[in-house]
Structure 1
Amino acid sequence: MTEQHHYDESKIKTLSSLEHIRKRPGMYIGRLGSGSDPDDGIYILLKEVIDNAVDEYIMGCGKQIEIAVEATGRCRVRDYGRGIPLGKVVECVSVINTGAKYNTEVFQFSVGLNGVGTKAVNALSAQFRVCSFREGRYKQADFVCGELIQEEEGQSSEKNGTLVEFLPDQQLFPSFTFDLSYVDQRLWRYAYLNAGLRLALTCPDEAEGKAKKKLYYSEKGLPDLLERELDGRGIYPAIQHKEHALEFAFTHTDEYTENYYSFVNGTYTSEGGTHLSAFREGILKGVNEFSGKKYTGEDVRDGLVGILAVKVQEPVFESQTKNKLGNTDIRAWIVNAVREAVATHLYKQPETAEVLLSKVQRNERIRKELQTVRKEAKAQAKKVAFKIPQLKDCKYHPQRGNASKPGEENMVFITEGQSAAGSIVSSRDPMTQAVFSLKGKPMNVFGQRLDLLYKNEEMYALMQSLNVEDSVADLRFDRVILATDADVDGLHIRNLLLTFFLHYFEQLIRQGHVYILETPIFRARNKQKTIYCYSEREKDEAVAALKGESSGNVEVTRFKGLGEISPPEFKQFIGLDMRIQQVRIDNLAEVYGLLEFYMGKNTPDRRQYIMEHLTLRPV
């Protein structure tokens, strides 16, 4: 028997708690990443530590949390809660399934019920320190890559609480950096979800070259968050409700899609779950109970922006990263509580009720008008062709509502014109890569009614290709990739497409389906080597490198459009090394303001802005 088939007791391995986390980090924190994405692991590590500090506040212990993020990536979190019991400090940060959060007398509502959070931070950090202060004494433990190095204890004059310091391991997070805008967004969410909690962040100020301090505090909580997101676009004062384990606030805008921010025990559930579906149902039942009508969910919720926060003693999440809640036992309770609160508020606030019902009736009227337009559009489409002529489809598509496994995602490239489409079609993988080619510049749909989708042939074809007419959950692709030329016209087309998605199908962007393809602007080469460059800086560096390697001439080609890149070359730019940027929304109010300025009817203002910011480059 060969060595590779020799299977006995010696081949069985037992990993310690932290060794297993280091061996399989994706099981515990999802993706690793470099910090360029808000879901990257370094932010999950920081979140896990802050979560523990916030849990202390929820239990009524400590009203302030101090956070520091250094330029080196070292993080420090100090809370003023009860402090970890000194005899269990080491176990609480190094032994999985150890912690007080299994005890509902100590922590009634906690995210970290699996007993893994801080242990994962310890295991995935090059350096980790925990120090607990309790009743005039302290206990400190230091770890390196999850291994205990030293511990000490003694007298202390510090206030009760816990201090955690960690430096993510460069071997696991190569070249990582914290994007402070992502940290800022997370801390504001903590403040809005925990009215009265004060968070202080100390971080580097690149402009000043020194550390700066920022405070996060919300007096009202969720209503403050809703006001920040809408920036005055709500058509009536927010309907809000707060009780021990449930808090929500919502209003309507004059826009089309419905948008929600849902949280469980302080954690943002980006994919929703049973609590969100119950909230949506409760709003519908509350409106119908008050009005005595039988409005549809679509009519009641179109244009609604809502925020929901629930506290659950034993939350069941569909993954360790806690993006979606799975508890079914809370559904009936949330539906009834929301229904009663909404109906009661409408009875007490007749002016709000009048505006809300007017919005619902307008939604109903538009929906019925669209039914006729839809039938005409579909009938016309059948007469023209059974297939969508602009779409070169792929063979694989994910099942409804389920994303494909990592590495198996399918995608559609939206290109401008037949020339660019030809290069992608010739070099794509027909199993997972589809191409939709625009005939020209798409229409600017900002401020247009929904029926335009059915009257404009190209917009209708794009909607049908994506299969999002009835629901974004029906999307036929994991990724929608905008592939436009790297010139002024290409940028304009990209902005028009982004306006299309933001105006009609904002959830596609919110759920992370829309991307922008980066393709090289320059090709620098000599007889031995070819380098593709995505910026002027990369081109200059490539030319210098090629000249240093050889005494021959360096040829530089500027690609004016995607169609100028040959299919054999293009294949590498949409393969394993494809460079794409995910389109994200940080703030609803900012999105609307940007669209109104750049895509609205204020042409003189835009012209003035261009003239003031125009930069002339030397020829």
Structure 2
Amino acid sequence: MAEQNQYTEDNIRSLDWKEHIRMRPGMYIGKLGDGSSPDDGIYILVKEVIDNSIDEFVMGTGKTIEVTVKDKTVTVRDYGRGIPLGKVVDVVSKMNTGGKYDSKAFKKSVGLNGVGTKAVNALSNYFRVESVRDNQLKAAEFSAGEITVEEDVVETTRRKGTKVTFTADDTIFKNYKYRNEYIVKMLKNYCYLNTGLTIIFNGEKYYSEDGLKDLLGETIAAEDRIYDIIHLKDDDIEIAMTHSKTQYSEEYYSFVNGQNTTQGGTHLGAFREAIVRTIKEFYNKNFEASDIRKSIVSAISVKVEEPVFESQTKTKLGSTEMGPDAPSVRTFVNDFIKTKLDNFLHRNPETADALLKKILQAERERKELSGIRKLARDRAKKASLHNKKLRDCRVHLPDAKNPRSLESTLFITEGDSASGSITKSRDVNTQAVFSLRGKPLNSYGMTKKIVYENEEFNLLQAALDIEEDMENLRYNNIVIATDADVDGMHIRLLLITFFLQFFPELIKENHLYILQTPLFRVRNKKETIYCYSDEERRAAIEKLKGKPEITRFKGLGEISPDEFKHFIGQDIRLDPVLMDTTTSIQNLLEFYMGKNTPDRQDFIINNLKVELDVVE
């Protein structure tokens, strides 16, 4: 017995860098996912490679970056300085090797941890790097981080720069596929934050002249704006803002050193505070902060020296200082807004008048709602004591330090049988269930009052914790889990209408999904295959040979909890609800839910796609 329990040097095993990344990928790239969500690991891999090319542009070399995604292979080519030829292998395969440790060269760089391309290399079953400098080319290839080919330096006529090609490892990223919409959004953000940069993606060119002003111009249709976009910039800070005529909630896009900090952080907190303080002082009126910020659509970008993020994937800024010997983030942002926004409003009385009217209107609406809000809150408190609608999970999106916070998911289900199956088979750490009673109300054209008056909407709003703003959103993924029949489609449509009407940024920020569930089960004595389409059913019959048993699922309630865990576990299939940002929300709602014939509504329900595009 004593021998068994001996603890010697032989017991201690040190993982090399590749093994460590492959065993604990979540530490480096957040969640794995299958590509249905914009923060899935495959997009972080693309981003890590592009970040290096962006740093070259920031240093003044390489004004064009070419990105191609074909099937599962990604290629990123820049025309920067190229990796020094003697270091090509080290830079992509040795930890703590990179150009960014020389702080002078990359003071306000994005990827400061020197891990980026090494993580991509370790998590790819094919990875090739090529560097051209001084008419010489050096290339190397790897698989799962192991070098497989190292080519000698050869003469070349190719333009200088770096080219990386990789295929993510499908033993780690299961059943994944790239969605071009997410990649395009990421690339556009790079262009907004780096004016003068051209990115060519699969032959399509992206470029921005006016930075964050262009971002808001794409986000909110001209007819939805209360006043023209205010655009202010200085060294290390840029902001753009307007107020929406149609949406109720606040909407922010925030960036640090070119990184999209989707969970905000100290810079966004300072921005929201500074807007309120400056506007109160400008009008010399003690407005409520919520009235000033209601319906705001804005973007802020700051550059911070050696930023500290609250999570490995850099989605929330934790730094309180702009850098060594620099002011605090709060002071820096506040001083900039105080001076620049105040000056702007003095010089643009039309904008100042429109903004004042908007604030006064928000104040009126808040006062009208205050009585009903209190009633609704009291009712929600009572309900939450014995609220059977929400079966919560343990980890939530605001727990930024928890590596699983990005996995937090709320399933919205209909009826007890479906919610029962999901509740029994879910992961209680990251998956919560909210069950609806029958069809939700059609909220098209209604005011925010309805959210408080309707018990289900009020409880749903409370479960998500988005009444005041998106800052406290409790779940990263909100998944509509309804039957795939006409009734289920109608419920989907009513829920999408609710979110579009009152919380459109949940859709714009890619938090809303539809759960795909299998239509058929095909099995024999040895194997069971779940099929999501007729093609998959035919392929399964072919594979199992003979006469397999085929079951058609009519609704979620028919699927047992034991089976359900396969559909909401690591093989979960989600369809994102995507919004065409060039379409005004008003037009969209009018098309889907406006006063039209029942025939037209039936047509829409039967053809409901999850991309919300207005059909001409």
**Partner amino acid, structure 2, of 1:482:** I
What number of residue pairs does the alignment pair up? 597
DSSP 3-state at the match of 2:101: coil
Which whole-Å CA distance do the structure 2 matches of 1:8 and 1:475 have between them? 48
Which of residues 274, 286, 310 in structure 2 aligns to 1:318?
A: 310
**Partner amino acid, structure 2, of 1:455:** E
Classify 1:583/1:134 alpha carbon distance in 2 versus 1 (closer, same or farther; 3 Å).
closer
Summarize the alignment of residues 181-580 of structure 1 with structure 2, pairs less than 5 Å apart: 181-202=181-202, 213-232=203-222, 233-254=224-245, 255-329=247-321, 330-377=329-376, 391-394=388-391, 397-398=394-395, 401-402=398-399, 406=404, 413-417=411-415, 436-464=434-462, 466=464, 468-470=466-468, 480-506=478-504, 508-509=506-507, 514-522=512-520, 533-541=531-539, 548-549=546-547, 554=549, 556-559=551-554, 561-563=555-557, 565=558, 572=565, 576=569, 579=572
**Partner amino acid, structure 2, of 1:256:** Y
Q: CA deviation at 1:608?
A: 9.7
Summarize the alignment of residues 2-21 of structure 1 with structure 2, pairs less than 5 Å apart: 5-21=5-21
Q: CA deviation at 1:303?
A: 0.6
Classify 1:388/1:442 alpha carbon distance in 2 versus 1 (closer, same or farther; 3 Å).
farther
Q: CA deviation at 1:447?
A: 2.8
More moved, 242-251 vs 402-411: 402-411
Classify 1:296/1:103 alpha carbon distance in 2 versus 1 (closer, same or farther; 3 Å).
farther
Q: Is the 8 A contact 1:18 1:95 kept in 2?
A: no
Q: What CA deviation, in whole Å up to 9, does each residue of 1:69-114 have, x standing for no partner?
A: 333x333322222222334333322222222212232223211111
Q: Is the 8 A contact 1:84 1:161 kept in 2?
A: yes
DSSP 3-state at the match of 1:67: strand
DSSP 3-state at the match of 2:546: helix
**Partner amino acid, structure 1, of 2:65:** I
**Partner amino acid, structure 1, of 2:489:** L
Q: Look up the match of 2:61.
A: 61
Q: Is the 8 A contact 1:391 1:465 kept in 2?
A: no
Which whole-Å CA distance do the structure 2 matches of 1:178 and 1:187 have between them? 14
**Partner amino acid, structure 2, of 1:348:** R
Classify 1:139/1:215 alpha carbon distance in 2 versus 1 (closer, same or farther; 3 Å).
same
Residue 135, structure 1, aligned to residue 134, structure 2: yes
Which whole-Å CA distance do the structure 2 matches of 1:54 and 1:174 have between them? 29
Which whole-Å CA distance do the structure 2 matches of 1:555 and 1:218 have between them? 53
Q: CA deviation at 1:484?
A: 2.2
Which whole-Å CA distance do the structure 2 matches of 1:47 and 1:422 have between them? 39
**Partner amino acid, structure 2, of 1:375:** K
Classify 1:546/1:537 alpha carbon distance in 2 versus 1 (closer, same or farther; 3 Å).
same
Q: CA deviation at 1:312?
A: 1.6
Q: CA deviation at 1:172?
A: 3.2
Classify 1:574/1:535 alpha carbon distance in 2 versus 1 (closer, same or farther; 3 Å).
closer
Which whole-Å CA distance do the structure 1 matches of 2:415 and 2:22 have between them? 48
Which has the higher Rg, Structure 1 or Structure 2? Answer: 1
Q: Is the 8 A contact 2:250 2:293 kept in 1?
A: yes
Q: CA deviation at 1:338?
A: 2.0
Q: Look up the match of 2:87.
A: 88
Classify 1:3/1:394 alpha carbon distance in 2 versus 1 (closer, same or farther; 3 Å).
farther
Classify 1:414/1:389 alpha carbon distance in 2 versus 1 (closer, same or farther; 3 Å).
farther
Which whole-Å CA distance do the structure 2 matches of 1:573 and 1:501 have between them? 28
Q: Is the 8 A contact 2:128 2:164 kept in 1?
A: yes
Q: Look up the match of 1:592.
A: 585
Which whole-Å CA distance do the structure 2 matches of 1:427 and 1:166 have between them? 36
DSSP 3-state at the match of 1:367: helix
Q: CA deviation at 1:337?
A: 1.0
**Partner amino acid, structure 1, of 2:209:** E
Q: CA deviation at 1:606?
A: 8.2
DSSP 3-state at the match of 1:46: helix
Q: Is the 8 A contact 1:79 1:163 kept in 2?
A: yes
More moved, 351-360 vs 105-114: 105-114
Q: Look up the match of 2:101.
A: 102
Q: What CA deviation, in whole Å up to 9, does each residue of 1:329-370 have, x standing for no partner?
A: 122211221222211111111101110111111111111111
**Partner amino acid, structure 2, of 1:218:** S
Classify 1:386/1:584 alpha carbon distance in 2 versus 1 (closer, same or farther; 3 Å).
closer
**Partner amino acid, structure 2, of 1:22:** R
More moved, 244-253 vs 151-160: 151-160
Which whole-Å CA distance do the structure 1 matches of 2:531 and 2:596 have between them? 35
**Partner amino acid, structure 1, of 2:112:** L
Unaligned 5+ runs, structure 2: 322-328, 609-616
DSSP 3-state at the match of 1:26: helix
More moved, 89-98 vs 128-137: 128-137
Which whole-Å CA distance do the structure 2 matches of 1:17 and 1:543 have between them? 43
Which whole-Å CA distance do the structure 2 matches of 1:174 and 1:450 have between them? 41
DSSP 3-state at the match of 1:316: coil
**Partner amino acid, structure 2, of 1:123:** A
Classify 1:60/1:231 alpha carbon distance in 2 versus 1 (closer, same or farther; 3 Å).
same
Which whole-Å CA distance do the structure 1 matches of 2:428 and 2:309 have between them? 35
Q: CA deviation at 1:237?
A: 0.7
Unaligned 5+ runs, structure 1: 203-212
DSSP 3-state at the match of 1:65: strand
Q: What CA deviation, in whole Å up to 9, does each residue of 1:421-468 have, x standing for no partner?
A: 566678889998766544432222133211122233443344345554
Q: CA deviation at 1:396?
A: 5.5
Classify 1:582/1:471 alpha carbon distance in 2 versus 1 (closer, same or farther; 3 Å).
farther
Q: What CA deviation, in whole Å up to 9, does each residue of 1:553-587 have, x standing for no partner?
A: x564552x444x27666765676478452645455
Q: Look up the match of 1:158.
A: 158
Classify 1:594/1:123 alpha carbon distance in 2 versus 1 (closer, same or farther; 3 Å).
farther
Q: Is the 8 A contact 1:284 1:339 kept in 2?
A: no
Which whole-Å CA distance do the structure 2 matches of 1:578 and 1:89 have between them? 37
**Partner amino acid, structure 2, of 1:217:** Y
> What TM-score does the superposition give when structure 1 sets the normalisation length?
0.84
Percent identity, please.
46
RMSD over equivalenced CA pairs, Å: 3.7
Q: Is the 8 A contact 2:391 2:434 kept in 1?
A: no
**Partner amino acid, structure 1, of 2:150:** Q
Which whole-Å CA distance do the structure 1 matches of 2:160 and 2:406 have between them? 50
Q: CA deviation at 1:170?
A: 3.8
DSSP 3-state at the match of 1:603: coil
Q: Look up the match of 1:207.
A: none
More moved, 78-87 vs 189-198: 78-87
**Partner amino acid, structure 2, of 1:177:** K
Q: CA deviation at 1:590?
A: 4.2
DSSP 3-state at the match of 1:69: strand
Classify 1:594/1:30 alpha carbon distance in 2 versus 1 (closer, same or farther; 3 Å).
farther
Which whole-Å CA distance do the structure 1 matches of 2:143 and 2:76 have between them? 18
Q: Look up the match of 1:77.
A: 76
Which whole-Å CA distance do the structure 2 matches of 1:429 and 1:79 have between them? 42
Which whole-Å CA distance do the structure 1 matches of 2:330 and 2:253 have between them? 17
